[in-house]
Structure 1
Amino acid sequence: MPLASDITIDASKFRAENVAEETKKANKLVESITANSPKWHEVGAAKHREMRETGETPLPVPVYLPEAFNATLPSRDNSRDIPMRVYKPSNGQRSKGVLIHFHGGGFVLGSHMHADTYLRMYADKCQLTAISVGYRHAPEDPYPAGVHDCIDAAVYLVDHAEKEYGAPLRFIAGESAGGCLTALTAFGLMRSRPSHRLSGLILHYGEFDLSLELPSVISYTKPLVVNKDSLERFNEAYLPGMSRAERRHPGVSPLYEDMIGLAASSPTKSLPPALFVCGTDDALLDDTLLMSAKWAISGEAIAKIYPGACHGFTAFPGLSVAEEALDVTVQFVREKLHVEV
């Protein structure tokens, strides 16, 4: 009997000939937009956020849906609350669970207010109450402020979601920096609320090693959404003065968490199921490959890789690989909810 690898991967996902022409054209457009966009580190983070709101960046003006509403959650700091944006299932349908979402933006940019269409997807297609959390940003509030906000929001919803929304907290989702926060929050819940079992995590092109020393980051130089230089700027704002070794602390970089030990100490002896999504033209590709492989040792990990897709690709409406990835995301959630797919 011939030898078989204990780890398998679909190599076709990484071959250049399998990148669709539509994806190549989209990447060229995004690369041009990235290269010619105002830089947050030049105009200032706060100013750049204002410019995003008013359409002064190449990104479209944020869409605010009338069905979504604003609310707050308590934080560990009694003097402040955590803002959030809530979208409930349409037509008065009973919620099957609560999903909390942490947006991307390098821990510096982005907003929970910009996630309405994403929240609607989970509410309408999965019958979830979807909540985007307004965690604090660097450089005004560097690490661990944002992590604390995300964990505080999750802990509150573990304790109160049934009463306030008629269903338990079941999913955590995040993209890019939000993927990092999703993993850290899930690990935090496993320690502080070990009896609560999440139905799943959704981790889109997450940053899991903030030391930025994985090969795909080091070798990625083109200005296609993010590269090594832009990631360095974001992380320096978020982790000011931290050495590379300090950035590898598992409370900062979830890739370095003792996942085997954490799973072994949990009542279920496993990590929650997780969906990982990433494109092959992404500086953070190795983050997803390594994190999903480590996750699979101690829990269910589904990694979906999209040929030629760049960082942030699920946010590009009409792009075939984006639609496919979002369909997979909905399928994952519905399967974990035991809804017919």
Structure 2
Amino acid sequence: MPLKSDITVDASKFDRKLADKGTEEFNEKLIKIWKDGPRWYEVGAPAYRKLRWEGKTPLAKPVVLPEGINGTIPSRDAGREIPYRVFKPAGGISKGIHLHIHGGGWVLQSEAYQDPYLKYMADHYELTVFSVGYRLAPEDPWPAGGEDCYDAAEWLVKNGKEQFGGELMFTGGESAGGHLACLVALHLLEKIPEFAFKGLLLHFGCFDLSGFLPMVEHHEKALVIDYDVMWKYIEALLPNTTIEQRRHPSISPFFADIRGKKLPPALFTCGSEDPLLDDTVFMGAKWQAWGNEGIVKIYNGAPHGFIGYPPGSIPAVQEGLDDTVEFVKARIPQ
């Protein structure tokens, strides 16, 4: 028998010749849209947030749904509250809680920016979706945002059942939110070892903040994010830090020693045209290598942030949504 590799990869998921033609056209439109608009660091984070909320950036104006419920929870700092936005399943019956952590490069967006997506998750997962409004850089650099996410997770472990009628079961997020959700899981593993997530939803996360994995530098198209944008995000989040400091596992989960640890099942998703592709592939492989359940799904041709685009934009959007629903429902006790 010929020698076989112990690690196999489906190369068709990365082959540009096999990408959906409609997706390629969608990507070209995105490139033009992002090229024509200002970058956040050119106008400043506060001004850019205002422009985005008003629909004056390449992204559409956020849709606000009446079903969303705003609230606050205590933080570790006396007198400071952490905002959140909650969606409950349309049927009224929730089987637990999903802690959602939004993306935006640790600099942009908030818990109020993704109502249709939050409602979709609540209705299809049959979970209460709790989106945390963590502090943003550059006004509040690391570890401020991470601490808010840790505080929210700990609060939900202790108070979720009383406040929302169910236990914390899942956490996840997109891009920066995927990074923070991964850190939340590792944090709770140490802080509350008797607690265990049912699963993690880690969508196109950045898991190495020390200088980026090769795809960020090799990606030749400015498709939603590129090297310059990512570097500005990191500089805003981690000012006055060295590369070695950024490699600390409390910042870059890729460097966490997970040997012998029982990690939650994790779904890693990423488009093949995402500069953060290496992060997903390598982190997913590391998850599996130490005996944990890590499912890695690659969507050929899809750009960064694909799962947040309107269903029907490209096939990968609904495929990704369907995969997350299947992953979640398989892990909810019946």
Provide TM-score, normalisation by structure 1: 0.95
Tell me if structure 2 keeps the 8 A contact 1:221–1:228: no
With 166-175 and 311-320 compared, the bigger mean Cα shift is at 311-320
With 278-287 and 114-123 compared, the bigger mean Cα shift is at 114-123
What letter corresponds to residue 251 of structure 1 in structure 2?
A: S
SS of 2:264 mapped into structure 1: strand
**2: CA distance, partners of 1:38 / 1:239:** 23
Cross-structure match for 1:273: 265
SS of 1:330 mapped into structure 2: helix
Cross-structure match for 2:279: 287
Cross-structure match for 1:313: 306
Residues 274-301 of structure 1 show CA distances to partners (whole Å, capped at 9, x for unaligned) of: 0000011111100001100011123100
Q: 2:327 aligns with which of 327, 332, 337?
A: 332
SS of 2:148 mapped into structure 1: helix
Cross-structure match for 2:62: 62
What letter corresponds to residue 14 of structure 1 in structure 2?
A: F
Cross-structure match for 2:36: 36
Tell me if structure 1 keeps the 8 A contact 2:91–2:123: no
Tell me if structure 1 keeps the 8 A contact 2:172–2:182: no
Q: How does 1:55-94 map to 2 (within 5 A)?
A: 55-93=55-93
Alpha-carbon offset, residue 312 of structure 1: 0.6
Are 1:154 and 2:156 an aligned pair?
A: no
Alpha-carbon offset, residue 125 of structure 1: 1.0
What letter corresponds to residue 273 of structure 1 in structure 2?
A: P
What letter corresponds to residue 136 of structure 1 in structure 2?
A: R
Q: How does 1:193-204 map to 2 (within 5 A)?
A: 193-204=192-203
Tell me if structure 1 keeps the 8 A contact 2:157–2:167: yes
**2: CA distance, partners of 1:215 / 1:43:** 28
With 282-291 and 220-229 compared, the bigger mean Cα shift is at 220-229
Residues 98-117 of structure 1 show CA distances to partners (whole Å, capped at 9, x for unaligned) of: 00111111100111101211
Q: How does 1:236-247 map to 2 (within 5 A)?
A: 236-247=235-246
Cross-structure match for 2:5: 5
Alpha-carbon offset, residue 222 of structure 1: 2.2
Structure 1 residue runs of 5 or longer lacking an equivalent are: 264-269
Tell me if structure 2 keeps the 8 A contact 1:212–1:218: no
**2: CA distance, partners of 1:303 / 1:250:** 21
SS of 1:82 mapped into structure 2: strand
What letter corresponds to residue 81 of structure 2 in structure 1?
A: D
**2: CA distance, partners of 1:308 / 1:320:** 10
Are 1:302 and 2:295 an aligned pair?
A: yes
Residues 69-100 of structure 1 show CA distances to partners (whole Å, capped at 9, x for unaligned) of: 1011111001201000000112322x111001
**1: CA distance, partners of 2:72 / 2:40:** 27
**1: CA distance, partners of 2:67 / 2:154:** 25
Are 1:166 and 2:165 an aligned pair?
A: yes
Q: How does 1:75-224 map to 2 (within 5 A)?
A: 75-93=75-93, 95-224=94-223
Residues 198-223 of structure 1 show CA distances to partners (whole Å, capped at 9, x for unaligned) of: 00000000000012331111212421
Tell me if structure 2 keeps the 8 A contact 1:12–1:18: yes
**1: CA distance, partners of 2:241 / 2:301:** 33
Residues 280-325 of structure 1 show CA distances to partners (whole Å, capped at 9, x for unaligned) of: 1111100001100011123100000011111111122112111111
SS of 1:310 mapped into structure 2: coil
Tell me if structure 2 keeps the 8 A contact 1:73–1:153: yes
Identity %: 49
Tell me if structure 2 keeps the 8 A contact 1:221–1:229: no
What letter corresponds to residue 34 of structure 2 in structure 1?
A: T
What letter corresponds to residue 285 of structure 2 in structure 1?
A: A
**2: CA distance, partners of 1:306 / 1:91:** 31
SS of 1:114 mapped into structure 2: coil
SS of 1:50 mapped into structure 2: helix
**2: CA distance, partners of 1:273 / 1:67:** 30
Provide TM-score, normalisation by structure 2: 0.97
Alpha-carbon offset, residue 242 of structure 1: 1.2
Cross-structure match for 1:260: 259
**2: CA distance, partners of 1:75 / 1:338:** 31
